[in-house]
Amino acid sequence: MIKNRYGLMATAMVVAGLGVAIFAVMVWYKAIYLDEQRTFWGGIDNALSVGTVTKSGSTNNANQNISQAQTLSFRGDVGVQNLITVASPDETEKIRVETQGYADADYFRYLELKLADQAQSDKAVDALNVWGVSDSAAGSNPQLLVESLVSSYVIYGNFGGQTKDNLKQILRDGVYNVDFATAIRTKSESGRPVYVYRVSVDMQKFSKLFAEYMRSLGNATLAGVVEAQSDSLSGVTKNVDLSIDARSRNIISIVDLQSGNNGDIYTAQGAFSNFSRPTDAIDFSELRARLDN
């Protein structure tokens, strides 16, 4: 009987101990891991360790509807893919294009050309699904990759070691000004906790960060160009609303408050990209000539 009593007491103590441990973990998780400041910097830091990221956005008005899906890939040949649709509200006219941008070349092709002038649409058939290329060897200056990297106000990449540590240090040197006390805690459509931050981005400091970022991607020439222009951004700030999943630390949306659009929705962070550099492209001037003839 006494042995059984001690056994029951021991079991009760173990159960009580587990209960205390679980409670402590829950308190830590809610009060520390889900803390507004930790979540913010966790999201910013996570963006430095992704293989790919996809974002989508749209702009609609009385004259046209524009939608875009953009995928950045940092595995192997660093590049960006854009899928863009421009259509009239009644879709009597519709253009779908795909672009790809790399450090040394930009690629472009028409996926669909539906024009009000049927004769013009018929002429465009020879240009559909044909890649045109504009490369640095031809004297051009590829822009698609750079524009896509700088437009999000967040640095994405697949970095490690000292490179990642250097970028994290620069990021914390006044690039972002955030009042964490005003962060809004809400939930995603799936019920996950989300923080929405009002962020003021110091564009001069962001440009210096971007220069170091381009060096890390192997483009020292562009880094020098960006640094030379950074003084012109003194005093310039951009305000954005940044939403971060508090559990995964993934950035889920960025709204540029100056642009007036609905913002970019970020998905598929870390997934493998499904695009690769075209191998059968013609010169872009030749592609344009097919449309003009």
Average pLDDT, the chain: 81
**d(Cα 246, Cα 269) in Å, to the nearest integer?**
15
Q: Which of 83, 88, 86 is nearest to 116 (CA)?
A: 88
User: What is the pLDDT tens value at each position of the chain, 293 positions in all?
Assistant: 544 554 544 454 444 444 444 444 443 344 444 689 999 999 999 999 998 888 888 888 888 899 999 998 988 788 889 999 999 988 889 999 999 988 888 999 999 988 877 777 777 788 899 999 986 554 455 567 777 766 778 999 999 899 999 999 999 999 999 999 999 999 988 889 999 999 999 999 998 898 898 888 888 887 888 888 888 888 989 999 999 999 999 999 998 887 766 677 877 676 667 789 999 999 988 888 887 76
Q: Which amino acid belongs to residue 174?
A: G
Residue 136: predicted pLDDT: 56
Q: Which amino acid belongs to residue 177?
A: N
Q: Which of 278, 199, 181, 292 is nearest to 244 (CA)?
A: 199
* CA 235 centroid distance within chain: 25
Residue spans per domain, the chain: 2-33, 52-147+277-292
Q: Which amino acid belongs to residue 228?
A: A
Each residue of 205-236: pLDDT tens digit?
Answer: 998 898 898 888 888 887 888 888 888 888 98
